[in-house]
A = this chain, B = another copy of it.
Amino acid sequence: MIPGPTPVPEAALLALAKHPIGHRTGEFSNILAEVTENLKWLHQTQNDVLMLNVSGTGAVEAGIINFLSPGDRILVGSNGKFGERWVEVAQAYGLNVEAVTAEWGKPLDPSAFAAKLQADTEKQIKAVIITHSETSTGVINDLAAINHHVKEHGQALIIVDAVTSLGAFNLPIDTWGLDVVASGSQKGYMIPPGLGFVSVSAKAWEAYKTAKLPKYYLDLGKYRKSAAKNTTPFTPPVNLIVALHASLRIMKEEGLESIFARHERLKNATRAAIKALNLPLFAADEYGSPAITAVEPLGIEADKIRSAMKKRFDIALAGGQDHLKNKIFRIGHLGFVSDRDILSCIASLEAVLPEVGYDNFTPGAGVAAANQVLIK
């Protein structure tokens, strides 16, 4: 129950164990063609959706450096560990980066972006980078509202870290006109870590033509060129792609609306349960992520709860990062997760909480509250 690596369906696990096939064969090209088609379906886009052999961070970095030049002015939303990371990436590449911050656990304020974008009458801002679902805090940022201001600006690209939102939350890339959207395989895609995805709009490809930041392995132009021939510029992680082939078929069978509704339901059940246990949620209801729920068990060491959950029930919960270490724990409900998983998690949590000194709840209240959401 962590926000990645997430659980993997059996069909995808078994696909992983197949002997790797040659990546320059017709057999593999056929798999790539179907995978690419299904990725476009999942991403709700006709844009290129490129696959790289990198983690989510590598995918977002590629999504940034392919479209910008040294000294370019950019805005980066930062209200958690990942927002902070994109600021660091931008600094590492010598971009003129301005962080638009919010407290960890709070969402980014769209009007803060509006103010800066509207003031930029000379159109110096080249890109706005937003983390959609901030995994470190369980906050979902209001991407639609921020994107609206970017579109009013007219020049800046919108670059989205959708690592824990893609495949969990409705993210209509073409409808919203999102230029660059990056994500990672061990999240909503229901396969292990090792693949990053970047979708690229026509407007972003225009920017690519004049972008001067150095790149080679992360050069998306190379991936695009190869993808057009159903191949890859460098040896791809064949087994992961074969697993993705299997997992995307499962996702198609479930359907986008069902996938999003399931994540919404699991989120609501988790949040209802935590409330019924009288534990504080780290992010408010209005901006709770469909991928992950952070809990701040004031007065109790979060890591004690995590280790008791692991020890007694073999359930892994994520901890807090940086200054939130031991202050929060995070329940992932992303990817191949079912109603039953939420119930076992909450039931187990009810069992361990008294062991670590917390009993300010009616036994069974968490499960009952979750069930009430799940039966709807």
Contact = CB atoms under 8 A, between A and B. Distances in A.
B20 A17 contact: no
Interface string A4-23: 11011000011011111111
Contact of A237 (B23, B89, B237): B237
Contact of A7 (B18, B19, B89, B218): B19
Interface stretch (A117-125, A208-216, A271-279, A359-367): A208-216
Interface stretch (A49-57, A169-177, A253-261): A49-57
Interface in A135-188: 184, 186
Contacts of A2: 22
Contacts of A235: 4-5, 55-57, 184, 186, 193
B239 A16 contact: yes
A94 B20 CA distance: 36
A238 interface: yes
Given A237-B192, A237-B193, A92 B216 contact: yes
Nearest to A307: B26
Interface in A89-124: 89, 92-94
Chain copies in the assembly?
Answer: 2
Interface residues of A, number: 51
A219 interface: yes
A238 B61 contact: no
A240 interface: yes
A214 B55 contact: no
Interface of A: 2, 4-5, 7-8, 13-14, 16-25, 53-58, 61, 88-89, 92-94, 184, 186, 192-194, 213-219, 234-240, 316, 318-319
18 contacts: A2-B22, A5-B23, A8-B20, A13-B17, A16-B239, A20-B186, A20-B192, A22-B316, A24-B319, A53-B53, A54-B54, A55-B217, A57-B234, A184-B235, A192-B237, A192-B238, A193-B238, A213-B214
Q: What are the 4 closest A-B residue pairs judged by CB atoms, nearest first?
A: A194-B237, A17-B17, A5-B20, A58-B217
Given A14-B17, A53-B55, A237-B240, 9 more contacts: A8-B19, A8-B20, A16-B17, A20-B186, A53-B193, A192-B237, A193-B236, A213-B214, A237-B237
